[in-house]
Structure 1
Amino acid sequence: MGQHASAACRLAFALALVPLAVHAQGKLGYVDMKRLLDNAPQVQAGRERLQREFAGRDMALKRDEARLAELKTDFERNGALLSKADADTKKREIDALERSVKRTRDELRGELKSRSDQELDKSWQEINNTVVDYAREQGLDLVVPSPVVYADPRIDITDRVLERLRREFQTRQANP
C-alpha cells in the first residue's frame, strides 16, 4: 500500500470518527504534528546534539574529500609527466582514498540516520504525551492530527501544546 493510500485510509478513519464525536457533543481538537516536530525545542535540541556528536567526524570526512580532490586535480595536471610506475602508484593512492571516503561517508550517513531516528522517536513520544495530557486536561474527546483537509482555528491546539513543550523543556534545562 502506498504512502498516499495509507494517508487516505487514516484520513477516512479520522473523518468517520468526527461525526460520532460531534453527535455525542464531544469536544474536538486539532494538532499540526509537523509544526510541533519542526518547532519543539526538544527536537531542536536533539538536532543540536547530533550536530555536536558528528561534527568531528564530518570535518575529518571533509578533509579527506578535499585531499582526494587535490590528488585528482594534481594527477590530471601532472599525471602525463610521471613515469608509468609513479603514475600507477599515484592512481592506487587516489583509488584507495576514494574507497575510504566513500566507505566513511556511507558509514557516517547510516549512523546519522540511525541516531536521528532515535532522537526523533524520543521527541515524538514526549510530544505525543504532551498532546494527550493537554487534551485530557482540557476535556477534549478527540484530537485529530495533521494532515487534515480543514480544521477551524478555534479547535487548533498546536500553539498551546507547543508553548507547553517549551515550558517543559525550559524547566528541564533549569533543573537537570
Structure 2
Amino acid sequence: MKQPAQSASRTLALLLLVLAFAGTAGAQAPAPARIGYVDMKRLLDNAPQVVAGRRTLEREFSARDAALKADEQRLTDLRRKQSTLAKTEADALQREVDALDRSIKRNREGLRSELKTRSDQELDRSWREINDAVVEFAREQGYDLIVPSPVVYASPRVDITDRILDRLRRATPKSPAP
C-alpha cells in the first residue's frame, strides 16, 4: 500500500518542480514593450521649424501676392467702369479687361505652383528634423515603438507629442522679432 503514497508524493514533488520553473520563467520574461504615440498633424502644425518655414514663405511671396491683389483690384475697377460706359467705349475697354484677366489667372497659377513647390521643400526639411527628434527622444527614454497618427485610439498616457514639441522648441534658436 505504499505505492499510492509514493505516487502522491512524486506527483506533489513534480508539481512543486513545475511551479518552481514557472516562477523562474516568469522572472526571466522580458519587460513589457514601451509604446508611445505622436500626433503628427499637431506636431507639423506647431513645430517651431514648420512655423518658421511658413513665415519664410510668407515673406518670400508677399510682394508677388500683393501685386496679384493689386491687379485683381484693378480688374474689378475696370469692370465697374466698363459697366458705366457707352457700348463702343465698353467694347474698346473689353480687350484690356480680357488681357488683364488672362494675366491674373496665369500669375495666380504660377504663384500657386511655386508656393506649393517651396512649401513641400520647407516641409521636407522640417520633416527630417522632426523625425530625428522623435527617434532621439524614443531612444533616450527607452521606447520600443512610436506610433504616428492617424490611429483609432491612443491613450493620453502614451501621447508624447507635447514632449517632442518641447524638445523641438528647445532645439530651435530664438529668432528676433521681424
Give the share of equivalent positions with the same residue, in percent: 62
Change in CA separation of 1:73 and 1:138 when aligned onto 2, cut-off 3 Å: same
* Residue equivalent to 2:144: 141
Select which of 19, 23, 27 maps to 2:34: 27
TM-score for both structures, normalised by structure 2: 0.78
Q: What do the CA deviations read for 1:30-78 (whole angstroms, capped 9, x no partner)?
A: 1111110111111111100000000000000011000000001100111
Select which of 85, 89, 92 maps to 1:89: 92
| Aligned length, in residue pairs | 147
Amino acid paired to 2:78? L
Distance in 2 between residues matched to 1:128 and 1:121, nearest whole Å: 10
Answering whether residue 41 of structure 2 is matched by residue 38 of structure 1, we say: no
Change in CA separation of 1:79 and 1:105 when aligned onto 2, cut-off 3 Å: farther
Amino acid paired to 1:108? L
The answer (yes or no) to whether the contact 2:138–2:144 under 8 Å persists in 1 is yes
Distance in 1 between residues matched to 2:162 and 2:90, nearest whole Å: 63
Distance in 2 between residues matched to 1:50 and 1:163, nearest whole Å: 24
Distance in 1 between residues matched to 2:157 and 2:86, nearest whole Å: 70
* Residue equivalent to 2:77: 70
Distance in 2 between residues matched to 1:64 and 1:128, nearest whole Å: 42
Answering whether residue 70 of structure 2 is matched by residue 104 of structure 1, we say: no
Amino acid paired to 2:108? R
* Residue equivalent to 2:119: 116
Q: CA RMSD in A?
A: 1.7
Distance in 2 between residues matched to 1:120 and 1:53, nearest whole Å: 15
* Residue equivalent to 1:170: 173
- CA positional deviation for 1:25: 2.0
**Structure number, greater radius of gyration:** 2
Q: Which runs of 4+ in 1 moved over 6 A?
A: none
Unaligned segments of structure 1, at least 5 residues:
1-22
TM-score for both structures, normalised by structure 1: 0.79
- CA positional deviation for 1:88: 3.3
Change in CA separation of 1:79 and 1:103 when aligned onto 2, cut-off 3 Å: farther
